[in-house]
Structure 1
């Protein structure tokens, strides 16, 4: 994920927005699903997960560059807003449910497969909750408390709103840093403590190499997966840049954004990255911190390089439950609020029913089907 984040800083002039592109929870989820399906088709061990992930990223990147070069960004306008909102909600819920085993410290409970099955397995093993849950829930609690405090202070002192917004963005590294410090004090020079940690991470660009080109058989497997993956990437990027453009008051070119996202996926795998998408949480944090140009990506890339070479030993002590708590909190913050759902129901019950069906399909089956159902139903009933 860090390696994928680094490549954005090298693509300064390929995008007009200050949105963040990196390996997100959704892109990781999509990559795991695709690798699982390719493994089922080709057989276990025929293609390594690394090779399949890199082939997927490069293939998707080439497709996105082609779409942008042909100026087909206008096609994004035919996808209904309700379908993209349902897809985003399904993705957030799927990620939250997938983090529950790590958040609660449930060893042996898989987070793969249908979200309903994962949730059922978690409920059946609730009696096995370990001390890891303390870290996970503590992270979510302090993130929420600091956010509420900064929001209240920004409202109370509007002249200092930017300062309190910046302080609010710092709560993520501060809270994670505190959990790492506590973990280090407990584990010290061994990893035999009472809770799970990330463990040793390779520093630098040790896995940088030119990806193995997919053969004809692997391309056949990828071709069945690419349309849905590219569609999801396009929709996510379009929704992100439009949100950032509205917030910061500038215009964007959808075709140029597709080219930027495509190049990020083409040049990411050679340095060890994988599928990248637009990140709402990171882009929002950048905007709140005062970022107004693509130069923010350059500074972020430099920080990533420093972390890769200097801080991998520190990150090894990161509690897995703390990371799960961070992801869960971030995804929960992106969910629609009950009041907004109720207002949508009053405005259009039919759209709300389509939204519910799309979200349910994303949780029961796959995220791409969530987008398909929402788009097709909206077209047929409009």
Structure 2
């Protein structure tokens, strides 16, 4: 066989085989030998480089509507039409109200809403989400405009907002196109809930002065300052309070009444839902009428008896390419991170939530493409940053939306409002718009019941939640976002770094019906057919197992350790330090009096005082260190740092157990690259003396070398029919003779335990024509298919060498 490229590289650099052991698999099916091949660097690149099929799939994924638009039908059309028009009645007043939050004229809210609804459907993977103006993003845009204009008063408010939308859209579109949507998973639910709650409190408190007609309050200050200034200004309340408070009361009353009637009359639940949904439009129409009656002779908004919206120009008066220059980029640069985070948080969190509720899965990367494209093109029609809206998405979902195409019908409603209803908008009371905003953001506040659930799951995250809310209240929303994201990231890193594995012991369990245990403290007689098996639980019962159960170490000097949450450069030292200290406390050196002279002892092991015995009876009674079994079922990847730490620990234990060597067994290794890392570090192989370091014990023709049976590690095998491997269904670890072993004849002791394969037509227990083949490669006998096999193999070798 031709020399492989890795071996040629080894020879080129003078690397000996025993420094980098490899076995070239060349076994043929049916020859009884299975040699497991290492994954190669070429395979790595083949797995990660795009193929022609993946490129075609990527292109198709950019336009998801192609997968469902050809199946569009009248039923879907009716559902989309109803949902789209319903949302349209909500988005028109909300859009204008949120534009005022952004320090922009009300028409900009309609521009932004139109673009979001008109464009999103083509890129959507969510049928429920609605893209447009939202309260939180509008508030941030308003603060950005105020800050920038303080430094650059020559920059127009709409130019700042449109420039911010354009840059944010370009960034989000890029992230989506490279399919990095997974970054949204780094923002946990706690941070989202804290941000939403803090922002809702900030927005609601900022709208109260306008609701009450109180002047002189800086609504862009910290929330607590706004509340204090509002309380101080209560004596100056004007007539606006009548238009605001009554509107706010009416909104909440209608919602409560519709919910009450829906519960009382479930058959009419849909009717009451639509009435509740239309409450915003109904209240706006009612208060426009009241305002018209009070101000019908007024020609200027400033002469009205209470503050009204004023002139709203019809059509797209601000369409055109936004002006972006270096000065504008420098001015908005500090606010880009928080703006991008908010756009991502609101949209992805809402779309994922409604996807789970309505039984479909969104593609976060594609959703970033959608909002990126919307914000990239929106500024050309006058739009400012837009993202998903919680309230309108909930309405759209409950209204029976069938496809993302419903957004087109909402866009038509917004378009009609822009061209046909702008003269009516002149009379909208500003206090009523403030009531609408307070009513909308109230749903963003996390209810106490939800916070209590967080507390039951993770108390430390509730502390982060309140820290973010308080920081938002006493400083600003941006600081609250940064704190919660940074704190949860730090918590994640801390948990990874301080993750603690467990030493396991062995117990025998029986599978019985729960009713068997109803005898309480009385003795229980197990059914005759109760099956038993050996399982592994924490020696110290830290996994919640019953402390009445006696958990024994599998064998003196054999230690079983389970990694609980990965093994990497962050936590490798913590894991291995704990493993070392524990094993040293439970074992002794092979040579107790190894240091004959006092000066030969290391400084960190000075031994007993002068005149005392060299070692105690308790120490002499401890077992020798024989083997370490590592359960890597929770480990997906091993990096260079953790692999080197494991090598150092192996060498340390070998010095501790000298002249013996410590065996290392591995169970649950499911990643081939993890196996390769361990093999490259000298683990998993046998050197012919029972120690799993160095080369595999195979001759040139790959026949298994003769070894002492007591040093031959057990491997799991399976019975196959007609040369086709079947799935393993059970593993016998009892060490007793089984029906399977009888079926395969005089199998060697080293080829046990046997895992048999169940087929639909043949029972392996009764079959005599099957072949016994290894589950994993025989060239890596110290990688085991499960923990039971690994422990049994370690015990077998330890007892044989005792």
TM-score, length-scaled by structure 2: 0.46
Instruction: Give SS of 2:245's match.
Output: helix
- Structure 2 contact 137–339 (Cα < 8 Å) conserved: no
Aligned to 1:146: 254
Question: Quick check: which one's strand share is greater?
Answer: 2
Aligned to 1:112: 220
Q: Deviations over 1:307-357 (max 9, x none)?
A: 001111111100001000011011113312233334433544322221111
What is the distance in 1 between the residues matched to 2:395 and 2:297?
34
* Of 185, 195, 209, the match for 2:306: 195
Aligned to 1:233: 343
What is the distance in 2 between the residues matched to 1:9 and 1:199?
26
Is residue 2:317 matched to residue 1:209? no
- Structure 1 contact 169–288 (Cα < 8 Å) conserved: no
Aligned to 1:351: 461
What is the distance in 2 between the residues matched to 1:375 and 1:54?
27
Instruction: Give SS of 2:123's match.
Output: coil
Aligned to 2:437: 327
* Of 266, 275, 284, the match for 2:385: 275
What is the distance in 2 between the residues matched to 1:71 and 1:196?
48
| Counterpart mapping for 1:178-189 below 5 A | 178-189=286-297
What is the distance in 2 between the residues matched to 1:193 and 1:228?
38
1:224 is displaced (CA, Å) by: 2.6
Aligned to 1:340: 450
Is residue 2:365 matched to residue 1:365? no
Gaps of 5+ in 2: 1-108, 496-802
1:226 is displaced (CA, Å) by: 1.2
- Structure 2 contact 186–489 (Cα < 8 Å) conserved: no
What is the distance in 2 between the residues matched to 1:346 and 1:235?
24
Q: Deviations over 1:164-214 (max 9, x none)?
A: 2122101110111101111111100304332110011111111212111x2
Aligned to 2:563: none
* Of 144, 155, 158, the match for 1:50: 158
* Further displaced range: 255-264 or 184-193: 184-193
1:136 is displaced (CA, Å) by: 1.2
Q: Deviations over 1:103-123 (max 9, x none)?
A: 111123221122222222111
Gaps of 5+ in 1: none
Aligned to 1:15: 124
1:161 is displaced (CA, Å) by: 2.1
What is the distance in 1 between the residues matched to 2:297 and 2:413?
26
1:366 is displaced (CA, Å) by: 2.7
Aligned to 2:406: 296
Q: Over alpha carbons, which structure has the higher Rg?
A: 2
Instruction: Give SS of 1:13's match.
Output: helix
Q: How many residues align?
A: 379
* Of 182, 203, 211, the match for 1:74: 182
Aligned to 2:279: 171
What is the distance in 2 between the residues matched to 1:295 and 1:232?
25
What is the distance in 2 between the residues matched to 1:155 and 1:168?
13
Instruction: Give SS of 1:208's match.
Output: coil
- Structure 1 contact 101–110 (Cα < 8 Å) conserved: no
What is the distance in 1 between the residues matched to 2:443 and 2:186?
28
Aligned to 1:305: 415
* Further displaced range: 355-364 or 189-198: 189-198
Runs of 4+ in 1 over 4 A off after TM superposition: none
If asked which structure has higher relative contact order (CA below 8 Å, sep 6+), I would say 1
What is the distance in 2 between the residues matched to 1:341 and 1:5?
32
Instruction: Give SS of 1:64's match.
Output: helix
Q: Deviations over 1:242-261 (max 9, x none)?
A: 12212322211001111111
Aligned to 1:30: 140
1:23 is displaced (CA, Å) by: 1.6
Aligned to 2:425: 315
What is the distance in 1 between the residues matched to 2:443 and 2:118?
30
